[in-house]
Amino acid sequence: MIIPMVGNYAIRASGDTRTPGLMVIFAAILNIILDPLLIYGIGPFPMIGIAGAAIATVFSRFTMLLFSSIILYYREKFITFNFSSPKSIFVSWKKILYIGLPNSVIKIILPFASGVITKLIALYGPETVAGFGVATRIEFFAIIGITSLAVVLGPFVGQNWGAGQFNCIKKGIQFSYQFSFLWGGIAFIILAIFGQYIGALFTDNPRIISVIKLYLLVVPVGYGMYGTLIMATSAMSVFKKPFHATALMFVQTFVFYIPIAYLGSFYIGLWGIFVALPISYFILSIVSRKILNHIIVNNKENALMVSHI
């Protein structure tokens, strides 16, 4: 799982976003096909239940590992067995960890915040927790366009930065902001209208459905602002400002989201917990855009100074 993940990011960074996407789609389809065959023993396949689902997942991931390795070695020439000196290796590791460690902290912050909010929601009963769990999974699909664009924005910014095309960077980032608000607005309208019916697809419990409906009515208001936030932090990492990105996500979570959720729960109830998230997105999206614009301007000025030397 890890090698294709790292390899696919490397392939995207080279400018090819199509191949990694096709590999992921192929692996998912293979997994979907193998699951019922091995779980229920269809045709010549043995019926091995849950173990069959596990084997299907492992096999699909192995297939992606194989394809990714072939592309990385033969086409991209990214894999070599000619080892450099220890000094050059440590220099490379240092550069990678400078970007990677702060981003790892961001990956830790998000599930930690989810755990804190889940504990807070648990005070309202197990049905509320169940509704919250279903709603957040629906949300994953609702914002997939925004998160996908954030993934490819990094290579786009990096390539244009290397070419000195700062106008392209600004246009690309501006388009990303506009796309985030458009996607977020459409998602909000759909979920606000059909949230109750979507919830009914998962359960017939009216309490759980009401929680799903409330979440999908309140939180999607902030999807567009969430998009601008992750677009900005993604670009910051490319501009070698990963600590800025980490600090923004830290502030969004621990200074605004969690405290507002606790206050909202105390004064308003469950609605107050849910509204805390779009409020935190709104504040940090404004701050992140201003910081990123300042970073771009500074890099552009530095590039112009170097070109005149």
CA distance 140 to 146: 10
- State the pLDDT at residue 305: 53
Give the whole-angstrom CA distance, residue 127 versus residue 142.
Answer: 22
CA-CA distance, 139 to 183, in Å (whole number)? 13
Q: Are 21 and 68 in contact (CB under 8 A)?
A: no
CA–centroid distance for 230 within its chain: 8
Residue length, the chain? 309
Cβ-Cβ contacts under 8 Å for 136 (sequence gap 6 or more)? 114, 215
pLDDT, position 304: 58
Which amino acid appears at position 96 of this protein?
A: I
Provide the pLDDT for residue 309: 46
- Kindly report the pTM of this predicted structure: 0.84
Provide the terminal-to-terminal Cα distance of the chain, rounded to the nearest Å. 47
173 closest CA partner among 117, 126, 227: 227
Q: What is the pLDDT along the chain (309 residues), one digit of tens a residue?
A: 899 989 998 898 888 888 998 999 999 999 999 999 999 999 899 999 999 999 999 999 999 999 999 999 999 999 888 888 888 889 999 998 999 999 899 989 989 999 999 999 999 999 999 999 999 999 999 999 999 999 889 889 988 988 889 889 999 999 999 999 999 999 999 999 999 999 999 999 999 999 999 999 999 999 999 999 999 999 999 999 999 999 999 999 999 999 999 999 999 999 999 999 999 999 999 999 999 999 998 887 766 554 544
Residue 247 CB contacts under 8 Å (≥ 6 apart), including other chains: none
Give the span between the Cα atoms of 82 and 284, in whole angstroms.
45
